[in-house]
Structure 1
Amino acid sequence: MILLSLAAAVGGILVGVIGFAMSYDTLSHVALNSWGFGERLAPWFPVGVDASIVAFLALDLYLVRKGTPWPVLRMAAHAMTGATIWFNASSQGSIRADPVRAGAHGAMPFLFVIGVEAARRLIIHKARLEAGTTSDRVPLHRWLLAPVKTPRFYRTMRLTGVTSYMEMIRREQELIAYELWLKRKYGGDLSLASEDELLPMTMARYGYTVAQALAMPDEQDQAAEARAEVAERRRLAAETRARIAQSDAVAEQLRADGRVEAVRAQVEGETGQARAHAKAQVTAAERVAQAEEEALETAVMAEAKARTVAAQRQEAEERKAKAEIDLEAAELECLAAEERRQAAEADRIAAAEAAAVETQAIAEARRATLEAEEATAETKKAVAEARRVTAEENRIADEERARQEAAIAAAEQSKKDAAEALRVAAETRRAAAEIELAAVEAEDTAKLRPRERAVRRVARMILTAHATNPDSASAEQLVSLAEIQAALDVSSSATASEYRQEAIELLASGYRP
């Protein structure tokens, strides 16, 4: 290949240089002598014609490499190619007069353009290979041997983006094999098959393989379940937000009620305190007035009694004086002295009683004052208790709000953890699907037998299970025989056990998809 590349490069450059030199000599001579160009412009005419071909083709290749081709450049290059061939062929006179001479002058420019087109094709093909957009052609013998089916084959290949001809052949073979299996299952009557079983024939024209078409119902069901889970999470989130808002409203209402009750208790306490103080003052004043009234009545009664006794004694003495004026004059004088002494004693006793009454009233007043002060202290204590209860309610409300905020934060964290877990699971499933697809393509390329494919699939199941559960020590714990039977549609557990054992040995030998 290196020698061929060197030969092609050297030959292409040599042909291009010779063609350009011959075209330059011919066109410059004709331009000067026959076409009316001046001596200074005639040499530049062939350069402009031939250089335009190279410039247009080079610019076209550059735009193709950048992914923005413009077909006008290629058409312009082809037009200039035809022009330079025509100019060289007709430079020696009429083409009909001497076709061989005209062909000799037009051959070299034509070869130069053929070399440039070959280089263009090589560069475009290399760019498509690097971009992964190169596509195989349908061989000519297929068009000749199957002229009816090949157009549909080609149409499906181009519309579905299948770039490999052999890949398209393999898909067609798989579809034919599946259709034959389905006919054998239902005795040749495909109308008995379910819609899911007929999906490979329906979706083949859209580029789906048999495995992809059969997996569509499960994928749609999984997508529907995922949408339902998303809707359920949104509904639960809305309910949670509604409960949180309701709890906030109830807490705010409780705080407002607590503030109202606190103000009410404070006002009632102050009002009760004022009432108790006023009542105590009124009671003390009433008791003082009553004590003063009782003391006054006692003093008046004592004085009246003393005056009555004195009057009676005076009358008795007057009668006795009248009866015994002479004999009892001395005795009357003594009696008068005794009466004065008794009156003084009575006055002293009355004064003592009055003083005692006054002292008792003062004590009653003091006791009433103490009772009023005790009532005031009780009122203050009740107000302090009401304030303490209000503070306790505020503290409980704050703790409840803190618990609610912690619950909200925990719920948000749970949502984030769940979203992260879903994302990791989705990434794991996507990576597993990519690995599975790459492994199946590699197995198809290697043309492995069904048993070898089954063993490799079990090995990939073990690797996927180990990636999601790295703590498990053995393959038996990671993948059970029931899972292998379900995945490979195997009825015998012994066969599934053999597959698992061979998969373990395959992994031990270094197999990685």
Structure 2
Amino acid sequence: MVQKVLIGTVAAAVLTIATLGFIGSYTAVTKLARAKGFGAFADAFPVAVDAGIIAFLALDLLLTWRRIPYPLLRQTAWGLTAATIAFNAVAAWPDPVGVGMHGVIPILFVIAVEAARHAVGRIADITADKHIESPPLSRWFLNPFNTFVIWRRQRLWDIRSYAAVIDLERQARIYRAQLRKQHGRRWRRKASADQLLVLDLVADGMSVEEAIDLPYQEEKRQAEAEAKRQAEAKAKAEAEAEAKHAAELRDVEAEAKRRAERAEAEAAEAEAKSRAEVAAEAARLEVEAKRREAEAAARVVEAETEAKLEAIARRRREAEAEAELKQREQQGRAREMERQQKFAQAAAEAEEVRRQELAAAQDRAQRVAAEARTRSATSVSLRPGATGSASASGATSGSGAGAVALGGQRSKRESEVEQVLARLLEADSPEAVSLEDVMNDFGLKQTTAYDRLKSARVLFEDAKQTTDTRSA
């Protein structure tokens, strides 16, 4: 906070100095410009000069802050400031007090701007390593000659630190004291050249240690140079040896190349000879191939002729075989028609025989059924009490319509029994007809169908017994 206040105060003071200086010099410089014939431009001339000073100094500060200083700007601003002071001094000449009064304010402004530039340079870390510290005034007063030597050494050898140059001077004095102690009062004549060389080097800005170590460094450098020279000589010798070896290799390669070319020529000659032989052999083979092709063509023509004759003969045989096949087919169709006629006739005869047998079986079945009924009636009439039962049943019949219905039922039952019996007689087996066949053929229930099948089997057994008895 204090720094900001100080900066603001300094800036205000500098602006005040610049403003007052401009106002103070404006009238004097304007009168001088009119006296020198500037005319109407006389009013603008002092403004241009002062504006140039401010512009160049501000631009110098800006470039310094941006770390791209340009010294010509500051030097030009100094020149314009000196010109302004000169113009004001001429306006007040020959009064020395007036001349001094006109020069004070511009000098104050330049000093303020230089202080600001110095601060900016230090802040931007640009002039920190370029500023040369001067010896203090007390040293100039106490030992002016030696101080001038130190100041001169700083400028000559760019020694920026005052402490560093004082340390070098102290080392030189200590070294002189050591030489004086070693060689006495006439140490400059008794000291060796190397020892005196140290003092000369110290005067040139080197430290005592560096100056003492310089001969050793020189010897080291010479040794390194000698080693480098020897290494270069060795490298040169190696290069020459390598070049010689390369030349020998080139000679060997040239000889190998000549041999390779000779071998290639021989190979080409052998290849040409081989090609000629191959061409001759190819020509011979081509002639032989053409001859074989002609023979093959003749054989092909002969084979084609034989094939054509064979084809003609084969077609003739095929035609004969086809005619014979057609004749056989016609004969086969005739035989098939005859066989079908015979089969139809045999089928008709078999059907007629089957009908006759069926009719005979039905007749036998009717006879057997009639005989069975007769035997049944006879057995009933001979049974005791049959007459009373018959009269009772006749008395209870009630009407003729009931007798007719009973007779109709008996006729249907007898017809079904006769049909089943006919099948059994035709098959000549009592097991030829099953219960399911009777149920399916006549649409009867199981009980009724069982009655019909049982009655037919009983009649079949009776018929078999009768037949066996007659045969016996």
What TM-score bracket applies, with the shorter chain setting the length? 0.3 to 0.5
Which of 1 and 2 has greater Rg?
2
With normalisation by structure 2, the TM-score equals: 0.44
With normalisation by structure 1, the TM-score equals: 0.41
Instruction: Return the structure number with greater relative CO, CA threshold 8 A, min gap 6.
Output: 1
